[in-house]
């Protein structure tokens, strides 16, 4: 009864809401995009999570990470996430791990909140091995990109050379992180309830500093 009242205004059918509630979501990274992914899934009634993040919150996280507060400073990100989740829905079931090790622990879908190319490749490969969808997202400065990978190879989409070292971008404004995380969470839910969703090789791009904010393009 409490669950129904909390999430009645989601406007999903009973069957759709049950699918959202019963699915298990693996989220890798709980920072800029990952925190907003987690928050949006919680608000849509998701209850089962597998969370990966080895880090603690620090002052440099405050400009873009929803879980970074004076109360969570120096706290493990996974612990802060659990506390946040239980303040919204006490029925959540969450398993927490540190650094992602390619084990998705029987998740139904994996959502990428990581901040480096190496981890993204690792997530994509793990999702392919587990035969589950991989929701990719990335944010940088004022920009973001999201797509869902099921059959299309992630490494092919971005012409990734495994022998190169890729730099991670730490300069992101909060609206870009929140927009990217929100779109990624929506993409995951749309897939689960069989609503239209963008899939690789197509991707949705945005730049908050452009007059035409959104556009769609095909990846490599």
pLDDT at 159: 77
Question: Tell me, what's the pLDDT at 129?
Answer: 96
83 vs 115, residue with greater confidence:
83
Residue 153: in which H helix or E strand, if any? none
Task: Tell me: pLDDT of 167 over 90.
Answer: no
Higher pLDDT: 165 or 23? It is 23
Please report the pLDDT score of residue 220 as a whole number: 78
The predicted structure's pLDDT at residue 162: 60
Q: How many residues does the chain have?
A: 220
pLDDT digits (tens, 9 = 90+) for 58-70: 999 999 999 999 9
Q: Which of 13, 17, 57 is nearest to 35 (CA)?
A: 57
DSSP helix/strand/coil, 155: helix
Confidence grade of residue 1 (pLDDT, cut at 50, 70, 90): confident
The residue to which tokens 């989409």 are assigned: 157
| pTM attached to this predicted model | 0.95
pLDDT score of 169: 59
Cα–Cα nearest to 86, from 35, 42, 25, 30: 42
Please state, in angstroms and rounded to a whole number, the distance separating the CA atoms of residues 101 and 142. 30
Torsion of CA 55, 58, 60, 63, to 10 degrees: 90
| Domains of the chain and CATH, by start | 13-218 (3.40.50.720)
| Residue 171 pLDDT | 83
Q: Do 205 and 143 contact (CB within 8 A), yes or no?
A: yes
Say yes or no to pLDDT of 185 above 60: yes
Determine the Cα–Cα distance for residues 35 and 173; give it in Å rounded to an integer: 14
Q: Which of 36, 107, 89 is nearest to 66 (CA)?
A: 36
Mean pLDDT (whole number) for 147-157: 93
Query: Are residues 12 and 20 in contact, defined by beta-carbon separation less than 8 angstroms?
Result: yes
The per-residue pLDDT for 16 is 98
For 146, the 3-state DSSP assignment is strand
**135 contact partners, CB below 8 Å, separation of at least 6:** 109, 110, 111, 112, 146, 147, 148, 149, 184, 187, 188, 191
Q: What percent of the chain has pLDDT over 90?
A: 89
Residue range 129-158: mean pLDDT, rounded: 94
The pLDDT value recorded for residue 158 is: 84
| Segment 158-165 mean pLDDT | 66
Give the other-Cβ count within 10 Å of 210's Cβ. 12
């Amino acid at each position: 009864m409490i669950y129904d009242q909390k999430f009645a205004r989601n406007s999903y059918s009973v069957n759709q809401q049950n699918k959202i509630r019963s699915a298990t979501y693996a989220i890798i990274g709980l920072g800029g995009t990952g925190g907003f992914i987690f928050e949006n899934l919680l608000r849509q009634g998701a209850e089962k999570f597998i969370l990966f993040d080895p880090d603690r919150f620090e002052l440099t996280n405050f400009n873009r990470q929803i879980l970074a507060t004076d109360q969570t400073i120096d706290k493990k990100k996974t612990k802060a996430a659990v506390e946040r989740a239980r303040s919204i829905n006490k029925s959540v079931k969450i398993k927490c791990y540190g650094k992602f090790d390619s084990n998705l622990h029987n998740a139904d879908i994996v959502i990428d909140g990581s901040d480096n190319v190496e981890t993204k490749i690792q997530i994509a490969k793990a999702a392919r091995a587990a035969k589950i969808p991989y929701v990719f997202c990335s944010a940088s400065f004022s920009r973001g990109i999201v797509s869902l990978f099921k059959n299309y190879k992630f490494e092919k989409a971005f012409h990734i050379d495994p022998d190169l070292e890729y730099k991670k971008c730490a300069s992101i404004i909060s609206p870009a992180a929140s927009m990217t995380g929100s779109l990624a969470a929506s993409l995951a839910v749309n897939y689960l309830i069989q609503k239209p969703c963008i899939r690789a090789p197509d991707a949705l791009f945005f730049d908050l500093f452009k007059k035409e904010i959104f556009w769609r393009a095909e990846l490599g």
